[in-house]
Amino acid sequence: MSSIRETSSAPGLALFAAAIVAAPFLLPDYYQSVLIVAGLFAILSMGLNLLMGYAGQISLGHAAFYGLSAYASGILTTTFHWPVPAGIAAGVVLSGVTAALIGIPTLKLKGHYLAMGTLGFGVIVYIVFNEAVALTAGPSGLTGIPRLSAFGKIFSTDREYYFVVWGTVFLLFVLARNLVRSRMGRALRAIHTSESAASVLGIDVARYKAFVFVLSAVYAGIAGALYAHFVTFISPGSFSFHASTQVVTMVVLGGMASLWGAVAGAVFLTVLPEWLRAIEDYDILVYGAILVLTMRFLPGGLAEGVERVLSALASIFRGKAKASGGEGKKP
């Protein structure tokens, strides 16, 4: 489990960077927009995994933070003509501040109550998106949102936007990994298993829970703003309970407490429906089934599955090396 986590991640990161750069040149153009969406979900699920997989706090309302930032940046750049980077910054700040206000009372709840609290929050925000017609244009959606432009450059092609999104994924991945491998990462995992044991060792449980809740909302906010300036049209449907469930499924399928898993789960569940157009109407059922099956048969998710395969391969190679008189495992 932790053997991989403790080894150096530099080769893994280099491989990840190489895959990000190579993918658009290897895949048909059509996949670029799919991968952009997958990247946005990867940001969402990395953030949710910090909260859920590491700290053990569930959120069933994460699409609200995604949507708040998308709408804030969309409205500020469209109605109020803010420059796009300023709109994105404001959107991310709004998601983070809302999480701080919501998190402090909500995180006192445990288990099912926390799930209900965050679900309720998500539903309320969804209703606001629909009803605050003057600002959000209601159910018919906000149109004419400008594409991302920064430093005098407009990122108008999918390929350019792909690199913006996956560059952000890479950066946020590294930051999350650095957090996980720090005293704060250990504190979050301690909170996951025993809040009382964590607290008597000097860990300020309430503060760390609030911090990771805000951080995961900031990740969602970054994804939301990038989404708005990619599709240029947003409507409440993208930020419903359904979207929250999707992200939870990505985290669980990918593997709780695995950042690689979060990215893999997001890519897999974004690309899969593209292959299975037929399931479109039943996708909530498919998500449910994936959730249940993963929890039942692969509780560590894709990350654990890959780890099992890798360690099986490693032991085969090690066996061969020994058989052929090669050196064994180094200390």
Partner 1 sequence: MTGRASYFSGEGITLRFGGVTALRDVAFSVSEGTVHAMIGPNGAGKTSLFNVITGLYAPDSGTVRFAGASLSGLPPHAVAQAGIVRTFQNLEIFTNMTVLENVLTGAHLSAKYGPFDFFLRTPRYFREERRLREEALAELSFVGLEGDASLPAAQLPFGSQRMLEIARALAAHPRLLLLDEPAAGLNIRETSALGELIRKIVARGVTVVMVEHDMALVMDISDRVTVLNYGEVLADGTPAEVQRNPAVVAAYLGEED
Tokens at 155, concatenated:
């990122």
Contact call for residues 12 and 5 (beta carbons, < 8 A): no
Torsion of CA 10, 302, 120, 206, to 10 degrees: -40
Minimum CB distance to partner 1 smaller for 1 or for 313: 1
Q: Catalog residues that contact partner 1 under the rule CB under 8 A.
A: 1-3, 6, 175, 178-179, 181-184, 186-187, 189-190, 192-194, 196-205, 257
What tokens were used for 32?
């670029």
CB of 243 to partner 1, least distance (A): 28
Q: Where are the alpha helices (DSSP H) in the chain?
A: 2-6, 10-26, 30-49, 62-78, 84-106, 111-131, 133-136, 158-180, 183-193, 195-200, 205-231, 241-254, 259-275, 283-297, 301-323
Q: How far is the CB of 175 from partner 1 (least distance, A)?
A: 6
CB of 187 to partner 1, least distance (A): 6
Answer yes or no: are the C-beta atoms of 23 and 180 closer than 8 Å.
no
Query: Under DSSP, is residue 153 helix (H, G, I), strand (E, B) or coil?
Result: strand
CA pair distance 215, 130, nearest whole angstrom = 26
Three-class secondary structure of residue 313 per DSSP: helix
Cβ proximity to partner 1: between 94 and 187 the closer is 187
**110 vs 159 by CB, closer to partner 1:** 110
Which residue number, 187 or 290, has a Cβ lying nearer to partner 1?
A: 187
CB 60, min distance to partner 1, A: 22
| Residue 205: CB minimum distance to partner 1, A | 7
Cα dihedral 26, 30, 34, 36 in deg (nearest 10): 70
Compute the least distance from the CB of residue 84 to partner 1, in Å. Answer: 25
Least separation in angstroms between CB 206 and partner 1: 8
Looking at the Cβ atoms of 175 and 309, the one nearer to partner 1 is 175
Torsion of CA 126, 130, 136, 140, to 10 degrees: 120
Q: Quick check: 55 and 107 in contact, CB under 8 A?
A: no
Closer residue to partner 1, CB minimum distance, 147 or 192: 192
d(CA 194, CA 191): 5
For residues 192 and 242, which CB has a smaller minimum distance to partner 1 in the complex?
Answer: 192
Whose Cβ is closer to partner 1: residue 22's or residue 201's?
A: 201
Q: How far is the CB of 306 from partner 1 (least distance, A)?
A: 19
Cβ-contact 260, 303 below 8 angstroms:
yes
